[in-house]
Structures are given as structure tokens and as C-alpha cells.
Amino acid sequence: MSLRLCYMQQSPALFKKLVDLSQLTKDSGLEATLLHLIDIRASQLNGCAFCLDMHVKEATIAGERPLRLYHVAIWRESALFSARERAALAWTEALTRLPDGGVPEAVFQEARAQFSEQELSALSYAVATINAWNRLNAAFLTPPGAHDKAFGLDKAGLA
């Protein structure tokens, strides 16, 4: 498949605002490791090949262990994630899939037990942001690895 259109070039001001929002989520105080897991899980759920590729490479560059990356898709069955990471992954799934009736109370209570109100708010913005990126890149078929050099992702050694 080839790129349908380059939304970055067609809507540069909107693209910049989404980049700015992404940076704000990175600066929110949440752990970078946690944000990588959120980005990877949402991208898996949304079937966004570009974002999944990108965030696995970012996590690798940041030193994430390969086995944990492999286990993101099976996080419920894996013992490799902390209670805080598990709560974030459940929150990510609930917000990404958004079931009828909204986020289940049990998922909220699990997240609330692990995160302060400010952290849970920031976590929600992080999930919303990766979902926006997933929708843009999936809609326009951005090829995995298309911007590796520009984003420094070639340093992951996963080409």
C-alpha cells in the first residue's frame, strides 16, 4: 500500500498543534516507560502500523526490554507489568475502545488507585493523543518506517 496523502503537508498548522499536544503529554510528569506502553497498546488496538512501528522503536531506544514489548499484546496474562502499568493499559483499552456506557467503574477504580487525579487526567490526554495519531496515520496509510530518519528512529537498529 502507498500513502494516500500527507496530512502533515496538507494541514501543517493542525499537525503542529498535535505535535505540541504530544509534547505536553510527554512533559506531564508521567513516566516515559508508561507512555511508551500506552502508545504501543493503543496502536495495536487501532491497527495503526506506522504508530506501532514508531513507538516500538522509541521504546527500544529508551531501553525498554524486548520481552516486555512482545508482551504488551498479552499484558493481562504477563507478569512483566507493574500494577500501575496494568491500570494504565486497562485505561488505555477502555478509552480506545470506549464501550457503550463509557469506561467501566471497575477500570476507573483500578486506575484511580494507581494514579492521582492529575496523573489520571494526563494519562487520559495521552491516550486521546495517540488515538488521534492512530486515526490520521491509519486513514492515510502512512507506511511503517516512513519517517524513521527524520525522527531519529533509525537508532533503534530495527530496520
DSSP string, 72-128: GGGTTT-SSS-HHHHHHHHHHHHHHH--TTSS-HHHHHHHHHHS-HHHHHHHHHHHH
How much of the chain, in percent, has pLDDT values that exceed 90?
89
For the chain, the structural domain boundaries read: 30-156
Dihedral (CA of 123, 129, 132, 133) sign: negative
The vertex-44 CA angle with 61 and 12, nearest 5°, equals 70
pLDDT value for 100: 94
Number of alpha helices (DSSP H) and beta strands (DSSP E) in the chain: 9, 0
- Three cell numbers written together for 125: 490526554
pLDDT band at 148 (very low <50, low <70, confident <90, very high): confident
Instruction: Identify whether the C-beta of residue 95 lies closer than 8 Å to the C-beta of residue 131.
Output: yes
Cell 496515520 appears where? 137
CA distance 16 to 58: 20
pLDDT tens by residue, 58-96: 999 999 999 999 999 999 999 999 999 999 999 999 999
Tell me the CATH class for 30-156: mainly alpha
Kindly tell me if the per-residue pLDDT of 1 is higher than 80. no
Buried b (16+ CB within 10 A) or exposed e, 48-78: bbbbbbbbbbbbbbeebeeebbebbeebeee
Q: What is the pTM of this model?
A: 0.94
Kindly tell me if the per-residue pLDDT of 159 is higher than 80. no
